Structure 1
Amino acid sequence: MSQLKDQSATGSTRRTFIKQAATATAVAGADSIIKTPVYGQNQAPSTGRVIGANDRINVGFVGVGSQGFNTHVRQIKNNEAKHNVTAAAACDVFSEYRDRAQEFMGVKSGNVYNDHRKLLERKDIDAVVIATVDHWHAPVAIESMEAGKHVLIEKPMTRYLSEGFDVYDTCKRTKRVMQIGAVFCLEEKWHKAAQLVRDGMIGPLVLGQSSYCRNSPKGEWNYAINPKLTEASVDWKRWLGKTGTRRFNADHFFRWRKYNHYCCGILGDLLAHKIHPLMIASGNPEFPSRVTCLGTKEITTDRDVPDNTQVLTNFPSGYTLMVLGSTVNQQGVPEMLRGHHGTLYFGGDKVDLKPETPFGDEIDPETFSGLKPSGADFVAEHADWFDVIRNGGETKGNIDLSIRAQVVISLAEMSERMSLTLLFDEKSRKVTTGTGQEVQPLNYPT
């Protein structure tokens, strides 16, 4: 049975919820796990090795469960020669995952770790892939960049809003290369759309729409529980981090996306894949100005997070983003970007430009096809990251895009859980209601 309490349960008012979120603090016993430095409090951040165009990049992996192993360890190891990289080290709190990674990578036992800080102490590691549970993204990313490592962070970038800006500020200060693991950012069609928007081909933006919908009769994220997971085979306290103290629970370990302590559900796991690309397609990704989100969980009740959700986001330019997500109905909405003069329709590896009727004499319909890469191309995602590490520039899922998308995701979660429409000020980084009341962002251990 779940150890968690539903924060939106009957009897908890919005005002009480806001106050609780504002005063919540991390559990002291877990705090030292998060904050213990690798190089000492008074030492300057490492600058890392200067990597030339032909230098081999040594990659470490923190979090080598399903996503970490299959998407990152396997793909990078199998393409070592193609990328001129070495899959050099791995870290995980579950011994079964460590052993699997060690065997597949073909490394000695001294190259796998239970504690990510040991991996970061290695001067030969140039870049770190972070595919942990969401609440560990920020601590590992920040410590990696402070240690001079470049980072690829699985989506969502962080669990909560404040630590998103911690990652952003650290990345800017250390000048490390960051890639977000929202793989559809690599699809060329979104970048083609951005060019068309900047060229004025569809006029002022009106609305972008997309969806990520599934139908899981047994409940989304109810993955099989590996019987080899025991209190002896996993560092449970480390896995919990600063989410709080609770008894060992295999359901939480393998099905953590169902629970608010560790994840924001559909928003972070599915809709992150749609929010990032549509922000790219706008031609000028902005911080949101207003976000509202609805959600229900009347069909799958074994969780904290909704099984059906809708997000509406306004941006300062007047552009609105609408994304729908579901794990109980697989029918989505057509992907399109609506402008005042024309509309862009997305499908596969192509973009169709169609004029709005009043502007038919000014804009010719046109199809742009064969736009590659297309689909979930993780090899392209890794190649883009390695290329920027060597040659400079910006990754397709760079830090400036990622922090803007993270604000949308974080405010959407807050909106749904607090039953509020929320406004964001990018200069002050403050969240308010429509009446001007400041709202403290959700934070641990909520």
Structure 2
Amino acid sequence: MSQILVVIVTWKENMTDLKSMNRRRMLRTTLAWGGAAVFASRTDRAQGFMAANDRPQVAAVGTGSRWCQKATGIDRPYGSAPDMRKYGDYVVVCDADENRRSLASMLTKGWTGTAADSVADYRAILDRDDIDIVHISTPDHWHAKIAIEAMLAGKDVYCEKPMTLTIDEGKKMVDVCRQTERIVQIGTQQRSNPKFIQALALIPDGRIGTLQKATCSVGGAPTSPMLPKADVPQGLDWDKWQGPVPGSDFRSLAGNKNETSSWSRGHYEFRWWYEYSGGKLTDWGAHHVDIATWGLGNTKMGPISVNPISVKHPVSFKDGYPTDNTQYNTATEFQIQATFDDGIELEIRHDGDNGILFEGSDGRIFVNRGRLTGKAVEDLKSNPLPDRALEKVYKNRPLVDHFRNFFEAATDRKEPISDVFSHHRALSTCHLAGIAARLGREIKWDPKKEQVVGDDQAQSFIARDYRDGFEIET
């Protein structure tokens, strides 16, 4: 085993940080002259991703249920790793929870015959020349930092949604992706779902007339009882799990009917705390608002206003921040309206049938993962879409699953279907909805400058402060 795998990098080792900083500074200079050159030494292996002995090598950062639920101790194959491994081999797994990364390593042995190396610190991965792809499945508040540093280290990235915790992080992701020319796929897998692709092909073909509105029903968020301070579970590095966000006590209470059988500030339940996530607005919102923005033709421009028509939180707020840190705090009920400069509206709701309703001057269509309905859909039997209409929606690439699209994009050095740039625009609407919900007022937005108009307090939520030692290196 190489030295880098037996030495676990600690957060406060100045010499290691200095070495990493110098290496990345040198790498940025190289990438500025031609990002594709970094991939050249690995191109042969990447181009043969379907061959058994010639496949990209993948490092997993975050091995919870979104990566593979079996790594949490639940005997279900749910997660993205079972699909990702069809095209690449996991050779390293990383998690702040020793128990999960141990189970993940055992899983990879069953997949390839060789157990993946196990590391506690993702930076040990960035210095490895044999890693082609970094697969990020951490809680949301870690996504941008790891993705940016992976790109700067010359790795391609598959990052689960939502890509960022703030709009400012999205701007940084866009800048670094453009600078390094890395291939980055966001895990909004609905972009590769045939039902959604067909819905998005119907709209430009005029099947519902002039588009007027999209409504995204994303479901409400749960509440919790008051959670007492609790001992950190054995094997979990709570300081490392929190990473960039301000430190807090670990809280947990047994009895919840979920995969952890508890309410907590940690695994799985992180998405119901604004400190780590945006609640349902960025959880399911990252999926449905992404598709709606795509369908509206606004993937290069954001809204001009976001209005929280109605919002309900489980705790009280002051100046946009929860006053109670013992309970889940993300919005449980909401109706939020975003308006674009062309007058089209995008509404995000907690109620209604989970999915997206597109309304036009001549009809409407509804789409979710289970069905696609509407008169325009029924009319396809007698009036099918033009040849290659679906491929045109799919960036004129072959219609394949979301993971294969990523690996093919990495091979061809082409933009994947769920790219950083358009996802940032869609997710910005979700983030603005969250800010409006927290402050309880309408926000005016300049989509060109990516700034709040006339509201300094709202503008302050566009970015966040990072804990010392956890800042994003760019």
Q: What amino acid is aligned across from residue 440 of structure 1 in structure 2? A: S
Query: Which residue matches 1:244?
Result: 246
Q: How many residues align?
A: 394
Shift of 1:252: 1.4
Q: Does 1:140 align with 2:146?
A: yes
Match of 1:207 among 213, 231, 235: 213
Aligned to 1:96: 99
Checking the alignment, whether the CA contact within 8 Å between 2:281 and 2:434 is kept in structure 1 is yes
Of 315, 320, 324, 2:345 maps to 320
SS in structure 2 of the partner of residue 89 of structure 1: strand
Sort the Cα spacing of 1:413 and 1:74 in 2 relative to 1 into closer, same or farther, 3 A.
closer
Partner of 2:469: none
Q: TM-score, normalised by structure 1?
A: 0.76
Q: Give 1:264's aligned residue.
A: 278
SS in 1 for 2:203: helix
Tell me if structure 2 keeps the 8 A contact 1:34–1:241: no
- Contact (CA 8 Å) 1:197, 1:283: kept in 2 or not? no
| TM-score calculated relative to the size of structure 2 | 0.72
- Hey, what's the Cα distance between the residues in 1 that align with 2:355 and 2:240? 42
Report Cα offsets for 1:114-137 as digits up to 9, x if no partner. Answer: 110101211111111111111110
Task: Give the AA of the match of 1:332.
Answer: D
1:444 to 461, 464, 472: 464
Unaligned runs of 5+ in 2: 1-10, 32-37, 50-54, 72-76, 253-263, 317-325, 391-399, 467-474
Aligned-residue offset at 1:263: 1.3
Assess, with a 3 A threshold, how the Cα gap between structure 1 residues 247 and 193 changes in structure 2: closer, same or farther: closer
SS in 2 for 1:207: strand
CA distance 1:339–1:178, shift in 2 (3 Å): same
Q: Residues 228 and 259 (structure 1 numbering): CA distance in 2 closer, same or farther, change over 3 Å?
A: closer
For the structure 1 residues 139 and 268, does the alpha-carbon distance in structure 2 shift closer, same or farther, using more than 3 Å as the test? same
> What are the ranges of 5 or more consecutive residues in structure 1 without an aligned counterpart?
1-28, 356-363, 373-378
Partner of 1:66: 65
Distance, in Å, in 2 between the alignment partners of 1:278 and 1:140 is 28
Alignment-derived partner of residue 360 in structure 2? 339
* Contact 2:270–2:276 (8 Å) recurs in 1: yes
Cα offsets for 1:44-93 (capped at 9, x unmatched): 23623335532411111101112122399976664577x34212211001
2:48 matched to 1:54? yes
For the pair 1:275 / 2:300, whether they are aligned, the reply is: no
Match of 1:429 in 2: 450
Report the identity percentage.
24
1:229 pairs with 2:242: no
* Displacement after TM superposition at 1:41 (Å): 4.9
The secondary structure found in structure 1 opposite 2:414 is: coil
Aligned to 1:292: 307
Residue 108 of structure 2 contacts residue 115 of structure 2 at CA under 8 Å; is this kept in 1? no
Q: Closer, same or farther in 2 for the Cα pair 1:141/1:215, shift >3 Å? A: closer
What SS class does the counterpart of residue 130 from structure 2 fall into? coil
- Aligned partner of 1:17 in structure 2 is none
Per the TM alignment, residue 188 of structure 1 is displaced from its structure 2 partner at its CA by 2.4
TM superposition shift of 1:353: 4.2
What secondary structure does 1:385 align onto? helix
How far off is 1:297 after superposition?
2.8
Q: CA deviation at 1:298?
A: 4.7
Partner Cα distance (2:225, 2:384) in 1: 35
3-state SS of paired residue (2:406):
helix
Secondary structure, in 3 states, of the residue corresponding to 1:43? helix
> Structure 2 vs 1, CA of residues 161 and 201 (structure 1 numbering), >3 Å: closer, same or farther?
same
Residue in structure 2 matched with residue 361 of structure 1 by the alignment:
none
Residues 194, 282 of structure 1: 8 Å contact kept: no
For residues 403 and 115 of structure 2, the distance between their equivalents in structure 1, rounded to whole angstroms, comes to 25
The separation in 2 between residues aligned to 1:288 and 1:222, in whole angstroms, is 37
- Are the structure 2 counterparts of residues 77 and 180 from structure 1 closer, same or farther at C-alpha, using a change threshold of 3 Å? closer
2: CA distance between counterparts of 1:221 and 1:445? 29
Decide whether the 8 Å contact of 2:126 with 2:150 is kept in 1: yes
Question: In 1, distance between residues paired with 2:424 and 2:133?
Answer: 20
Cα separation, 1, equivalents of 2:447 and 2:340: 11
Deviations 1:359-395 (A, max 9, x none): xxxxx944699999xxxxxx92222211211134332
Of 129, 150, 167, which aligns to 2:156? 150
* Shift in Å, 1:227: 8.8
Instruction: Report SS of the residue matched to 1:411.
Output: helix
Q: Distance in 2 between matches of 1:269 and 1:296?
A: 17
Which range moved further: 66-75 or 136-145?
Answer: 66-75
Residue 396 of structure 1 aligns to a residue in which SS? coil
Using CA pairs under 8 Å that are at least 6 residues apart, name the structure with larger relative contact order, 1 or 2: 1
**What is the CA deviation profile of residues 84-111 of structure 1, one whole-angstrom value per residue up to 9, with x for unaligned ones?**
4212211001100110101101176771
Alignment map for 1:34-183 (pairs within 5 Å): 37=20, 40-45=23-28, 47-48=38-39, 49-50=42-43, 52-55=46-49, 56-70=55-69, 78=82, 83-106=86-109, 111-183=117-189
- Report if the CA contact (8 A) 1:351-1:369 is conserved: no
Q: CA deviation at 1:438?
A: 7.5
Q: CA deviation at 1:267?
A: 0.9
Corresponding residue SS for 1:229: coil
Q: 1:220 to 1:382 in 2, by over 3 A?
A: farther
Structure 1 residue 204: deviation in Å? Answer: 2.7
CA distance in 2, matches of 1:150, 1:308: 37
The structure 1 residue matched to 2:333, chosen from 308, 322, 334, is 308
Secondary structure in 2 matching 1:152 = strand
Relative to structure 1, the CA distance from residue 102 to residue 41 in structure 2 (aligned partners, 3 Å threshold; closer, same or farther) is closer
User: Alignment RMSD, CA only?
Assistant: 3.9
Assess, with a 3 A threshold, how the Cα gap between structure 1 residues 77 and 423 changes in structure 2: closer, same or farther: closer
Rounded to whole Å, the distance in 2 between the matches of 1:234 and 1:189 is 40
